[in-house]
Amino acid sequence: MTRTADNIRGGQLRDRTVVVTGAARGLGRACAERFAREGADLVLVDVAADVPGVPYPLGSAGQLEHTAKLCRAQGAAVLTAAADVRDPEAVREVARQTLDRFGTIDVLLNGAGIAAPSGKAVHEISEDEWDLMVGIDLTGAWRMTKAVIPAMIEQRSGSVINVASTAGLVGYRHFAGYVAAKHGLIGLTKAAALDYGPFRVRVNALCPGSVRDDPLHEGRMLAEIARSLDVDVDEHEEIFVQSQPMNTLIEPQDIAGAALWLAGDDSCQVTGTTLTVDGGFSAR
């Protein structure tokens, strides 16, 4: 797409194309909206359907379109793609469509992820449950990175942001699959940063703590984590706040602000790092 004076907007990400996975709701939506407000054009990716084995509804096609509507209201050009990050051809097609439409891929936010099936000790996890968790939360990010990196190498610039978790820094009882995938994602981040640093392509991890399920973003990750821990969903926010040194949950816009910094020029010398936004939880 050729940009004209009519569609050039201001902001930290002006003239840049950002691919966001897990964009239908939650942190994916919050980050996409923030990127759009800062001038980016967007490719919004989500499975947009339920996945067998995941014990809660995932983002829908309608939610993905709602995210697109919110971003277009900020003046962004938006392409949506219903794609499962476990499907190599679907992922490659996202990269092809992005380049066909916008001609560049400047930022990739790997936000697609699941929190369950969880709630079991290590020996109780089935092969299918383990493969499902790792396949989405870790291998999906690798697969998306693999698809977009060649374009970033060619243009000698780019930023990959892997949404990990405090579960990538510490352990959580009965969440071995999730913890292993998120630790692996941080390891992938560090290795990829070394691989692509010579090409001016940066790779960083973003580790949110307990993020409030903001109804505006239709998030439900914290509620599902609570459910896996047999925590009363009606009281889960108050219970999670008790472990927060700053006595409050993280807001989606807090994560979006950190993602914006990693995407923009102010972090041009930052790569291979882990940016933790958890209100001090992991400092203990």
Q: Tell me the three state secondary structure of residue 110.
A: strand
Between CA 242 and CA 37 the distance in angstroms is: 34
Number of Cβ atoms within 10 Å of the Cβ of 10: 9
Model confidence pTM above 0.75:
yes
Task: Give the helix ranges, DSSP H, for 38-169.
Answer: 61-72, 88-102, 127-134, 140-155
User: Which residue is associated with the tokens 């790779």?
Assistant: 203
Q: What angle do CA 202, 204, 205 make, to 5 degrees?
A: 165
Catalytic residues: 178
Write out pLDDT tens, residues 103-159.
999 999 999 999 999 999 999 999 999 999 999 999 999 999 999 999 999 999 999
Distance of CA 261 to the CA centre of its chain: 14
180 near 122, Cβ under 8 Å?
A: no
Q: What is the reported pLDDT for 233?
A: 63
User: Which residue is associated with the tokens 């194309």?
Assistant: 17
Regions of the chain with pLDDT less than 50: 1-6
DSSP 167: G
